[in-house]
Structure formats: structure tokens, C-alpha cells
Amino acid sequence: MRVGVLTGGGDCPGLNAVIRAVVRKGVTVHGFEFVGYRDGWKGPLEGLTMPLGVEQCRGILPRGGTILGSSRTNPFKVDGGVERIKDNLAAAGVDALIAIGGEDTLGVATQLADLGVDVVGVPKTIDNDLSGTDFTFGFDTAVNIATDAIDRLHTTAESHHRVLVVEVMGRHAGWIALHAGIAGGASAVLIPEQPFDIDKVCALVEARFQTQYSPIIVVSEGAVPVDGGDMTLVSGEVDAFGHVRLGGIGDRLASEIEHRTGKEARAVVLGHVQRGGTPTAFDRWLATRFGLQAISAVAEGDFGTMMALRGTRIERVPLAEGTAQLKLVSPEEYAEAQVFFG
Ligand code: F6P
């Protein structure tokens, strides 16, 4: 059997660990051959391949990024895209595909599965917002990077009696902000699911200064104020899946806080640092187990499925279930963190 592998969407630490596990078990246990598709769905769409075998996977377990490259290509936005993919898979003798991606990449996989392509999905995203799985790999690494940054910002904020606003990734879901904010002892965590009241944020800032400590405010890039006003700078650029580019909430918030409280406030945008570099041990473990289960699903002909972490078990769920809706922070989970605000 020949199996194609692709990684799509924003990269995240652990992608290479999945590829390695898929290939190692595929070759040694099942005797499969592999085709590496370059740059997400662009690979099968344009027939862009690279050799993929045990040799290419040596030394990649701890490496961030993806040896296959990635893109946000949406074949359903390209005329005849699906037919081109089917033709290219047939021409390369590829019997099945493993797609490693987030909501968009796996959304395409879901539709292709319905159209008769034999595909298995592996969920990845630092945002951890895919339903069907308890965690996606990449998230733990991002949270650790953000927590380390918050720890460092505490000491410099204290020295200068400043407010420090830390902007983290999270377009629709505030998981990174929530986990890193709790782990880092933030004075407030602002997430997309719970619009924030700027007056209340300023009150938390004042309260924190009264205890002789400096406030750290952690904000997701997709957080919005309650009055509906837009504090997020949008470049106007839209990707093939219709997402605008976010960014700027941290700066806006810092200047608003400074203006309203008279306290000096600075913003730090963690940005792509959260996605780069070596994965944590947890992410390597999770990514490896997803890869092992994905190639077993291919061997068993269990297509149209997505790998999912349920408790400590790796299970298979229908792709459609994994991509039907985003997993968001519930009001109860947010309320737990609120105990520490101020
Ligand atoms: O998809 C994950 C994510 O990290 C989002 O939180 C963020 O909005 C997006 O990627 C940004 O990715 P890029 O800069 O590659 O467009």
C-alpha cells in the first residue's frame, strides 16, 4: 500500500513526531510505502511530492515545524480542485492519505472523505480548539512558552511598577490564555468567549497595585470588548478559509489601561514564538501516539476517522464529529480562573 502524508494550516510543534511515528510503524509493521505531500493541500492539488521513508524521518522527533511544509490552501476554492486531487493521487499510486491539521485542513479532509477519498485525520493546533479530542498536540508547548514568558514578565513589571499586557494566540478559543494565565498567576485573563469590560479590567489593575504587586493581563488575540467596539487591529487580509489576520489587541488594551488608570502599561505580543521550536515531552508523546493510531486506521481501512485523545486513550472518531464545531472555554472553566483576578 502507498500512503500519502500532508501537514496543513498553521504549523505547530509535534508535526514531525506524527510523521515519524506514521512512517516508522507503516514501514516496519505493515510494509507500506509513503509519499510526502508538500505544503498542505497544495501538495496533492499540484502533485508536489517528496520522498518519505525511515531515512527522511531520522532526527526529526524533537524538531519543531514540519519537514513536509504547510500552507492554508483550500482545494474547494480552486476550480476542479477535488478532481485534480483524485487524479494526482491515482497518478502517484497513492491508496490512502493521512492529513495532519486543524479545523480547516481536517474540514477539507471531511469533505474529501464524503467524496470517496480514503483519508484519515490527525488533529493539531496550538489553539486546542478541536472538538472530539481532549487535547491537540502543540498546545502544551505553546502554554509552556507563554507561561515562561509570564514568569519573566512578572519580575520586570514589579521592578518598574508597570502593567504588562501579554497577547497570546487564540483566534476563537482562549485555551492558551486560560492555561498560561492560571499557570503564570495573571491578574486577569481575557478570552474570545467572554467579552471583557474595560472598566472592570482597569479596576483589577488598580486592585493589583494596591497589594504592591504589578498586574499581568493575559489576552487572547481574538478577545473583544463587551460594548462591541473593535480593539483588534485587522490587516484586511483574508486567507482561503475566510479568516482575517488578527493582532493588535495587546497594544490597544495597554494604551487604554494607561490612559484610564494613569499607570504605565506595556504590551508584549508572543506571536509565532508560541508555535516555533522543540515540542514538550507531552506533545511528542501525544503526537507519536496519534501517528501510531493513524497508520493502524489506514491498515484497517478505517477511513473518514480522526484520532482523538479521550482521557489517556487514543480513540478514533468520525472526521465529521471532530470538525463539526469548535471546542470553546466554558463559563464554568473561566469562572475558576476568575477567583485569582485582581
Ligand atoms: O491556527 C492557529 C493559530 O495559531 C491562530 O491562533 C492564529 O490566529 C493563527 O494560527 C495565525 O497563524 P498565521 O500567522 O500562520 O496565519
Tens digit of each residue's pLDDT (9 = 90 or more) over 121-137? 999 999 999 999 999 99
Q: Which of 161, 126, 131, 180 is nearest to 9 (CA)?
A: 126
DSSP label at residue 122: E
Residue whose C-alpha cell reads 507563554 in the numeric block: 146
Residue whose C-alpha cell reads 513536509 in the numeric block: 68
For ligand 1, atom 1, which residue shows the shortest CA distance? 10
Active site residue 127: yes
Q: Would you state the pLDDT for residue 178?
A: 98
Ligand 1 binding pocket mutation candidate from 15, 105, 171, 238 (most atoms within 8 A of CB): 171
**Does ligand 1 lie within 6 Å of residue 125's CB atom?**
yes
Element (H, E) at 94: none
Question: Regarding beta strands 265-269 and 188-190, do their DSSP bridges make them parallel or antiparallel, or are they unpaired?
Answer: unpaired
Instruction: Give the number of the atom of ligand 1 that is nearest the alpha carbon of residue 246.
Output: 8
Distance 275 CA to ligand 1 centre (A): 9
The burial of 284, by beta-carbon neighbours within 10 Å (0-12 exposed, 13-18 middle, 19 or more buried), is given as buried
**Does ligand 1 lie within 6 Å of residue 101's CB atom?**
no
Q: Would you state the pLDDT for residue 212?
A: 86
Tens of pLDDT, residues 268-300: 999 999 999 999 999 999 999 999 999 999 999
One-letter amino acid identity for 44?
A: P
Distance 316 CA to ligand 1 centre (A): 26
For ligand 1, atom 15, which residue shows the shortest CA distance? 10
Query: Three-state DSSP class for 62?
Result: coil
**What span, in angstroms and rounded, lies between the C-alpha atoms of 204 and 117?**
53
Exposed e or buried b per residue across 155-167, where buried means at least 16 C-beta atoms within 10 angstroms of its C-beta: eebeeeebbbbbb
Instruction: Give the number of the atom of ligand 1 that is nearest the alpha carbon of residue 272.
Output: 14
Mean pLDDT of the chain: 95
Instruction: Give the number of the atom of ligand 1 that is nearest the alpha carbon of residue 170.
Output: 6
Tens of pLDDT, residues 14-25: 999 999 999 999
Distance 12 CA to ligand 1 centre (A): 10
Q: Would you state the pLDDT for residue 49?
A: 98
CA 74 to chain centre: 18
Exposure on the CB side of residue 67, measured as CA atoms within 13 A = 23
Check: CB of residue 165 under 8 Å from CB of residue 268.
yes
C-alpha cell at 99: 492529513
Question: Regarding beta strands 49-52 and 188-190, do their DSSP bridges make them parallel or antiparallel, or are they unpaired?
Answer: unpaired
Q: Would you state the pLDDT for residue 230?
A: 57
Question: In order of start, what are the domains of the chain with their CATH numbers?
Answer: 2-137+279-323 (3.40.50.450), 139-276 (3.40.50.460)
